[in-house]
Structure 1
Amino acid sequence: MRTFGKWLGRILLFLVLSAAVLYAWKREEIHRLLAVNTLFSEEKIVSNFSNMNAAFLTREVDRGSGPVSKIPKGEPAAMPAGLSQWVEDRAVTGLVVLKHGSLLHESYYKDTSPEDLRISWSVAKSYLSALFGVVVAEGHIESLDDPVTKYAPKLIGSAYDRASIRNVLQMSSGVTFDEDYLDYNSDINRMGRVLALGGTLDDFAASLKDTFVEPGSQWQYVSIDTHVLGMVIRGATSRNVAGLLSEKIIQPLGYEQSPYYVTDGAGAAFVLGGLNISTRDYARFGQMFLQHGMYGGQQVVPADWVAESTVPSAKTATDALQYGYQWWMPKDAREGEFFGIGVYGQYIYINRPLGVVIAMNSADRKFKEDGVTDTNIAMFREIAEGL
């Protein structure tokens, strides 16, 4: 028994030492993986959404040294009677309302502040669309009907092999991708673990082999499509997305703070959802799109790209939200009304006929319940129509 006890003690000591060595070697990766597993927990979600740089690899998107663009203050607007209950129900953390470029309402909740850099989630897709329009206009990409593999050859032999850039812009790649955030083994959650453990999303995208329809024949939301667009931009320009976004979009808008991207282990920006920006600065981006790509006397994004990207063009169902080039339109799409949307309640809503931009950040753990998006759009319309 004594011999057995000695051997057992040695085995336990070996396991403890091995665990200690593994932890020391992979400490950052383990911390990021733990962060992913608690990212959306009720007690941490609000803080996490304002402090993504505490848990993940990041890369600054430099605002430059230019002056902050001024947002003039207008007369405070009367908000709808149901706003307070809606704010509570939707776990809103920040709300900014502009009309004709003037600030009419600004409010923050759940101990957040105007200075918080809040995670965009899929609102980042609309930023990438804007950058894509600039890259196309500068001649780096010959045609939206080019195959993505022309600029991202790593994808040759993958599920993206026959998809065009236009297919991917419209979320019509035909690539099989499970977007269920509540399923631990879904593709979207596997991708999150790749990000947390310092893997590369280029490799992850190239590893996808299955399609469910021909490219371009059917719309289906596939978040990794946006990463592929980032690969195309990098391949076409030989530059990183963070640097390009800084130069072409963020600096001309005169942001108050430098945003940052969450990145993968190779330093590639998490372009499908990793931008972190203040709510006021999200509103500046929306104002630029309301003004057909013009801001501060400069054409930041080509007007024809703004027009083309923000109208229904993808083959979505007639009774569903409509889609353009990484921008959304309501089910009853109205001219000049479109929005970017991210999970857990991130929005940039633009109503051009009424001259209104609404930027909203939230930590809404019920965002997937039936009717929530419709309720949010209805509230945005009520705000816009009441100003």
Structure 2
Amino acid sequence: MLLKTKMEKIINSSYNNIGGMIVLKNSKILYENYFNECNAASTFHVFSVTKSIVSILIGIAIDREYIKSINQKILDFFPDYTVKRGEKTIQNVTLKDMLTMTAPYKYKSEPYTEYFASDNWVNSALDLLGGKGKIGEFRYTPLIGPDILSGILAKTTGQSVLDFAAKYLFLPLDIHVEGNIVFHNKKEQLDWYKEKNVRGWVADRAGVNTAGWGLNLTTTDMAKVGQLYLDKGIWKGKQIISSDWINESTKEHSICKQWKLSYGYLWWIIDDKEHAYAAMGDGGNVIYVNTKKKMIVAIASLFIPRAKDRLKFIKGYIEPMFENFA
């Protein structure tokens, strides 16, 4: 009890934008608490945790043969897209390059204003893909780029990303994502970032859901996703996603030198020896899975810029506190 009190003092002093936290070990909830007037029903914009959810959906689409292979060329999915004269790099980018953040882009800094002003974020991302960079070099793209993956899911499955997710992932896990959030101007989007407890999944005006950000989940939803992966894709006796995809997507395929972390298929690889990996989003949103210790930590946070590193908190305080529990 004293250790938990100490941990909560650390949360209140150094990680005071946390809204909810759940710790599971051996499928049992060892800790669940909420802060900042949040509760179990509160939803949070999980930012780049969205990417890892999209990775799961790509895996399910491959399992169900909507997508043949991650080695398919991106342009194979968009036969109506016209490549500008002289552009060669984009023609060789594969789905795997997108999943491992090793695809090149034409911009130095993301042109957010122009991008969000467009009605079709998938086409806008395709327009920015390629350029003079080399395929195979890690380049993390927070918002612009991953939307191409949403476009692929919509094209191959013949339904919206949210509908596909609801049928094959959210419904089995009893996760409720209420609908699309569509912004009509910049002010709506900026105001939305400041709101608490918004529900749904952001989509462009063409109705395609975002892949790099924009999904809202509860802390429990995040913990469920972690448990699904720890249990090799099985939920209540049913195989939701193949264990092969989980193994492949949570092992090193590329390296981010800037943050000294390995990267899988839209999952960060934290510790090879313990097979620990995480979905991480801006503001301090994390789904952390430690396979060896059979432990999951889900942290949902209210957005603040430059939030303190949750991994240090998890590795330094949370894991040592709970690792000896049965």
TM-score by length of 2: 0.82
Q: Describe the superposition over 1:227-286 as per-residue Cα deviations: whole angstroms up to 9, x where unpaired.
A: 111111112222211110001101111236756211111111122211111111111111
- Structure 1 residue 381 corresponds to structure 2 residue 307: no
Number of the residue aligned with 2:62: 136
| Higher mean displacement: 223-232 or 372-381 | 372-381
The SS at the match of 1:206 is helix
Kept in 2, the 8 Å contact 1:349–1:380? The answer is: no
Kept in 1, the 8 Å contact 2:177–2:216? The answer is: no
Return the alpha-carbon distance in structure 1 between the equivalents of residues 264 and 278 of structure 2: 10
Number of the residue aligned with 2:101: 171
Number of the residue aligned with 2:111: 187
Number of the residue aligned with 1:208: 128
Return the alpha-carbon distance in structure 2 between the equivalents of residues 157 and 239 of structure 1: 25
| Higher mean displacement: 292-301 or 108-117 | 108-117
Asked which structure has the greater CA Rg, the reply is 1
Q: Describe the superposition over 1:78-98 as per-residue Cα deviations: whole angstroms up to 9, x where unpaired.
A: 537344223432221111111
Number of the residue aligned with 1:358: 297
Instruction: Name the aligned partner's letter for residue 382 of structure 1.
Output: P
Return the alpha-carbon distance in structure 1 between the equivalents of residues 269 and 260 of structure 2: 10
Instruction: Name the aligned partner's letter for residue 74 of structure 2.
Output: V
Return the alpha-carbon distance in structure 2 between the equivalents of residues 230 and 96 of structure 1: 29
Instruction: Name the aligned partner's letter for residue 301 of structure 1.
Output: I
Kept in 2, the 8 Å contact 1:119–1:277? The answer is: yes
What stretches of structure 1 move > 6 A for 4+ residues in a row?
none
Q: What is the number of equivalent residue pairs in this alignment?
A: 298
Q: Describe the superposition over 1:292-322 as per-residue Cα deviations: whole angstroms up to 9, x where unpaired.
A: 1111101101110000001111143397111
**Structure with the bigger percentage of strand:** 2
Say if 1:85 and 1:366 are closer, same or farther in 2 by CA, change over 3 A: farther
| Unaligned ranges ≥5, structure 1 | 1-75, 180-185
Return the alpha-carbon distance in structure 2 between the equivalents of residues 214 and 106 of structure 1: 45
| Unaligned ranges ≥5, structure 2 | 179-198
CA RMSD of aligned residues (A): 2.6
Say if 1:211 and 1:87 are closer, same or farther in 2 by CA, change over 3 A: farther
Number of the residue aligned with 1:342: 281
Number of the residue aligned with 1:183: none
Q: Describe the superposition over 1:32-86 as per-residue Cα deviations: whole angstroms up to 9, x where unpaired.
A: xxxxxxxxxxxxxxxxxxxxxxxxxxxxxxxxxxxxxxxxxxxx99537344223
Return the alpha-carbon distance in structure 1 between the equivalents of residues 301 and 122 of structure 2: 29
Query: Which residue of 168, 172, 180 maps to 1:252?
Result: 172
Say if 1:209 and 1:92 are closer, same or farther in 2 by CA, change over 3 A: closer
Return the alpha-carbon distance in structure 1 between the equivalents of residues 214 and 298 of structure 2: 17
- Structure 1 residue 276 corresponds to structure 2 residue 200: no
Say if 1:314 and 1:155 are closer, same or farther in 2 by CA, change over 3 A: farther
Kept in 1, the 8 Å contact 2:284–2:307? The answer is: no
Number of the residue aligned with 1:27: none
